Amino acid sequence: MKYTDLFIDFDDTLYDTHGNAIIALGELYEYLHLDQYFDNPNVFYDDYWNTNIRLWTQYAKGEIERRYLIIERFRHPLSLGKGLNPTEDYCLKASDKFLSLCAIKSGLVDGAKELMDYLHNKGYRMHMCSNGFHEVQYKKLHSCGLFDHFTTIILSEDAGANKPSPQFFDYAFQQSGASPATTLMIGDNFNTDILGAQQTGLDTIFFNRFPEYPAPSPVTHEVHHLKDIMSIL
């Protein structure tokens, strides 16, 4: 076996973060009675997603802190509501409720459970590598039933750096006991998962969910469905 260890991204690689968050965001909209402030809920939803993507990109680069991300991703879309003045406390309340709603969702990316069972039965040591928040990721892992599949849980908050930082991957090797020569990275985000792993000398599987946008630079493997990984490993 060429590889003994697998570094695997969690959000939107295995766990359907986007799909689960869509449901949770709708529940949050009702919980906060935002229909009092928005004539069209899509104004809130669309701005949330645009703001969230921008802020997570900045967070991955180390340009902003976690607290800023948590507050601002709600402050901006909420500020579009008529007569709504989203204070910092209000945004934190919205964030806490949203994260609690997300954490209990169990939705996985199609084929994730089958792939993880397959890899476990093949004897791979699997290590979750995520930029997600510590308390939320553990809850999501238990909710979706994948916690016991992982040998090690490696999170950016514990590493003191986000993917794609070399510091994150150094920490991952330290915690997992894996060797770069026999480790492969699987992830859906080209910039954080794939480039970060390549810079550390790892082979990669780029799980590209959008085949109309191929990998911008060479990767070891590119797949469009998780089941395709079974023919590689």
pLDDT band with cut points at 50, 70 and 90 for residue 133: confident
Tokens standing for residue 153: 């849980």
Predicted confidence at residue 1, as pLDDT, reads 61
In the chain, CATH 1.10.150.240 covers 17-103
Distance CA 182, CA 203 (A): 9
- Tell me the two tokens of residue 6: 């697998």
**CATH code that applies to domain 17-103:** 1.10.150.240
d(C-alpha 114, C-alpha 135), whole Å: 26
pTM passes above 0.75: yes
Rounded to an integer, the average pLDDT of 112-119 is 98
- The tens digit of pLDDT for each residue in 7-65 reads 999 999 999 999 999 999 999 999 999 999 999 999 999 999 999 999 999 998 889 99
- For 114-145, b/e burial (b = at least 16 CB within 10 A) is ebbebbeeeebbbbbbbbbbeebbebbbebbe
- CATH 3.40.50.1000 positions along the chain are 5-15+107-231
| CATH number for the segment(s) 5-15+107-231 | 3.40.50.1000
Closest to 187 in 3D by CA, of 117, 118, 128:
128
Helices and strands counted in the chain (H then E): 9, 6
SS3 154: strand
Closest Cα to residue 139, out of 153, 125, 160? Answer: 153
